[in-house]
Chain A
Amino acid sequence: MKFNANTNLLVGSLLCGTILVAALLGAFWTPFDPMTPDFAHRLHAPDTTYWLGTDEFGRDTFSRILYGATTSVGISFMTVLIAMVAGTMLGLIAGYMRGWVDRLMMCFTDALLAFPGMLLALGLLAVVGANKYGIVVALGIAYLPSVLRLVRGTVLPLREREFVHASRIMGNSEMFILFRHILPNCFGPMMVLATSMFGWVLLAESSLSFLGLGVPPPAPTWGNMLAGSRPFMMQAGWLGIFPGLCISMTLLGINLLGDALQDKLDPYSKGK
């Protein structure tokens, strides 16, 4: 099979679709309660009742993965949304207005980018508190500079394009030009960044949870499930394998989808 944009799109959307369905399902229904311990069935190997086995408290892994998907995907989605919206707004302003506004924002993003993203998130988490919302805020701020930079970089050449001048000649306001011409032409790179960022955030959230700084137990996320599986790696491998598989498959799906989107969203291939 040849790997082209269409294969990427198909496999990518299939994987992402599965995760989304899992996340939605997990919000309303799971085969067992993901939080309640059931000591009679501790470290149960996968069988027809417990599809993916149980953990050291006898909680069903499959249920926890479904429920964890809701948490993980929800957090990632919110984070990406915050970073994208705020970053795009600031990036548009910086790139379109230039001058001291631009310089100030660039100083700010340079300062943020000087910290490794993970370290920054850890520091911010210490300030805002280690819970669901804390993670969203911390990761949102940590990933905002890359959005801002990307949008600004896309806007810079766009504002010199002749269609922008043409629109100005027609008597359209700068606001109109910004939202009608500049913003839509940023969508392509923005979508690509958003998809890959979704992957990074998912991974970052898992890492934070793994480090014990994420969502506090007993609520499951893929990251803290992975962390919790460590002591039982030899006796109950499924505890680590399945959440790990979920993380890597989601990342693969998102990356494939991102690549495919990049090809599809290029305006220069439209209409042909």
Chain B
Amino acid sequence: MNAAPLLEVNHLQLETRQSAKRVVDDIGFAVMRGEIVGIVGESGSGKSMTARAVMRLEPPAIQRTAGRILFDGQDVIEMPPKKLRQMRGAKVGMVFQEPMTSLNPSMTIGRQLDEGLALHSDYTAARRRELTLQMLTRIGIQDPEKSLTAYPHHFSGGMRQRIMLAAVMLVRPALLIADEPTTALDAIVQRDVLELMVELTREQQTAVLLISHDLPMVARYTDKIIVMERGRIVEQGPTADIIATPKHPYTRKLLSSLPSRGPARNIDRGVTPVVQAKDIVVDYPGRGGLFRKNQDVRALHGIDLEIHPREVLALVGGSGSGKTTLGWTIAGLLRKTSGQLAFDGEPIDRANSAWQRYRHDCQMVFQDPYSSLDPRMTVRKLLQESLRTVPNMNDRARNQRIDQVLEEVGLPAQEYADRYPNALSGGQRQRIAIARAVSRRPKFVIADEPVSALDVTVRAQILSLFSELQKHYGFSCLFISHDLAVVEQVADRVAVMQRGRIVEQGSRDAIFDAPKHAYTRELLSAIPLLEITPTGGVKTRWRFQADHLRHEDGIMSDEPDCQNVAY
């Protein structure tokens, strides 16, 4: 092992070409051989730019104005193009966030894996094929021979990310840069891919620069953490120290923004439920051929659900589990194939009068605040629209109510009412979306991943605002989320969904502390926890040891197409 660092960044400064805005401001850090270093920060912190600059892959609008980047003692910036190409791929590999777009859809897996190896090694074709097959076996692909001639769309997101990882690691680089490698994946798949990445890089003594917004995840896998805020490094050091004794206020803010469990609330479950779903079935029309009968795809298989007054019921599950379908069906945005919905004990149907009341009393907060607000309407107009259908409300009362509700979400009307959505940040937009949902004082709110698109610190603020408003207005809530940590903070009760069925339902504490169904345990085991030790420090731990569980119950990941499917 070499004592000199593998990668050394000194006083690096990046600016936008047009307005000379600092994107990265005087940062310096080092990565030793075989070391796993995490860069943590929120969007706009410059973490991705830093990683790209190491490969000299910064976008053309960005230029380096000062600083040096040394890779293996050589200045990356001074490198002639030919040497730079040799460094990229052969010595430094990169894995991107989006597994759906980072593999070429028109090339077979075999050719994509071979590409790097052929370019950066002197092996014969036969030897390369042998190495490729070895690597495919190593990353857990069933039937590697066959997958050599398969195309990326034959594989699920998690599998594609594994293949991407395999393609990079085949060349045995000295440094792997992973930019949010698992952000687009489900929790369980994320854990599997990361474990694989750590194993592979440990085996080959490859250093890793792991870029992520997810502090517990980074803390779980790295030796060293670099915390970035607005282009600057605010704190760096060994992971254990950063987590246990954060010195910079921003690091402390990041840590305290992590969701935590509050005391359980007392919900009276003896009364009539606000919303009751019975045996809900939803089929999506399948595509049939000219002479083939349409094969419907069943998205929900008979769901039973009850939400009581003032209760927050969380719906959790991986992607494709049907949780959003269920939420939208209950909201009336999707038609159910069969089953009954009741509101306040009255059965509702599109045609009857109870439906009108339900339309008025049920509101929704959507995931993407950039898409849920009409870009052509000001904040006041957006809220007016929500109050438009309220009976017996004149313009004055409406505007008063708007001012009041804007105040409640922390955006005073004088300043914000006349703005257009694009003059607001993501967090502010979500506040408007929440204000819009509660402005009519609904009895029931459906929140579909309301904080998933937000940064960690903003997420904490929006979550506490949401909880506060929920207590204040006392509405019942169906809270849909894939993020168990968030659910643990807000939910009274939890329903776990898998493949269109609710597999387990119970109080929050019961689900989180004593899960009964194997899938719930699998889900819970996939998220690392940061917890306070008796000595006052903080450490990461898994909630459950997943490995032995998995062998016992023989569970595979939630993704139905996780393994190679149809060729």
Question: Residues on A close to B: CB < 8 A?
Answer: 161-163, 165-172, 180-181, 184-185, 267-272
Chain B residues near A271 (CB-CB < 8 A): 419-420, 422-423
Contact call B388/A165, Cβ cutoff below 8 A: no
Chain A residues near B414 (CB-CB < 8 A): none
Contact call A267/B375, Cβ cutoff below 8 A: yes
Chain A residues near B351 (CB-CB < 8 A): none
Chain A residues near B371 (CB-CB < 8 A): 161-163
Interchain CA distance A267-B420 in the complex, whole Å:
9
Interchain CA distance A169-B436 in the complex, whole Å:
11
Contact call A270/B375, Cβ cutoff below 8 A: yes
Q: How large is the interface on B (under 10, 10 to 19, 20 to 34, 35 or more residues)?
A: 20 to 34
Contact call B375/A169, Cβ cutoff below 8 A: no
Q: How far is the CB of A158 from chain B (nearest CB, A)?
A: 10
Chain B residues near A169 (CB-CB < 8 A): 331-333, 359, 362-364
Q: Tell which of B362, B368, B373, B376 has the most Cβ of chain A within 10 Å.
A: B376
Check if B256 is an interface residue, CB within 8 A of chain A: no
Chain A residues near B436 (CB-CB < 8 A): 166
Check if B272 is an interface residue, CB within 8 A of chain A: no
A-B contact pairs, 20 of them (CB 8 A): A163-B371, A163-B373, A166-B436, A168-B333, A169-B332, A169-B333, A169-B363, A169-B364, A170-B388, A170-B389, A171-B356, A171-B389, A172-B389, A181-B374, A184-B376, A268-B422, A270-B376, A271-B422, A271-B423, A272-B422
List 3 A-B pairs, minimum CB-CB distance, nearest first: A271-B420, A162-B372, A171-B359
Question: Residues on B close to A: CB < 8 A?
Answer: 328, 331-333, 356, 359-360, 362-364, 366-368, 371-376, 385-386, 388-389, 419-420, 422-423, 433, 436, 440
Residue of A nearest to B364 (CB): A169
Contact call A270/B385, Cβ cutoff below 8 A: no
Given contacts A170-B386, A172-B389, A271-B423, contact A165 B375 (CB under 8 A): no
Interchain CA distance A76-B405 in the complex, whole Å:
49
Given contacts A170-B385, A170-B388, A172-B389, contact A270 B422 (CB under 8 A): yes
Chain A residues near B388 (CB-CB < 8 A): 170, 172
Chain A residues near B332 (CB-CB < 8 A): 169
Interchain CA distance A171-B368 in the complex, whole Å:
21
Contact call A180/B420, Cβ cutoff below 8 A: no
Q: How many A-B residue pairs have CB under 8 A?
A: 69
Chain B residues near A161 (CB-CB < 8 A): 371-372
Contact of A268 among B333, B362, B368, B375 (CB under 8 A): B375
Chain A residues near B389 (CB-CB < 8 A): 170-172
Residue of B nearest to A164 (CB): B374
Q: How far is the CB of A244 from chain B (nearest CB, A)?
A: 41
Contact call B333/A165, Cβ cutoff below 8 A: yes
Contact call A185/B375, Cβ cutoff below 8 A: yes
Q: How far is the CB of A88 from chain B (nearest CB, A)?
A: 16
Residue of A nearest to B360 (CB): A171
Q: How far is the CB of B552 from chain A (nearest CB, A)?
A: 42
Chain A residues near B331 (CB-CB < 8 A): 169
Interchain CA distance A267-B366 in the complex, whole Å:
21
Given contacts A171-B389, A271-B420, contact A165 B364 (CB under 8 A): yes
Contact call A267/B362, Cβ cutoff below 8 A: no
Residue of B nearest to A185 (CB): B376
Contact call B372/A166, Cβ cutoff below 8 A: yes
Chain A residues near B364 (CB-CB < 8 A): 165-166, 169
Q: How far is the CB of A155 from chain B (nearest CB, A)?
A: 14
Chain B residues near A165 (CB-CB < 8 A): 328, 333, 364, 366, 372
Chain A residues near B367 (CB-CB < 8 A): 162
Interchain CA distance A185-B364 in the complex, whole Å:
22
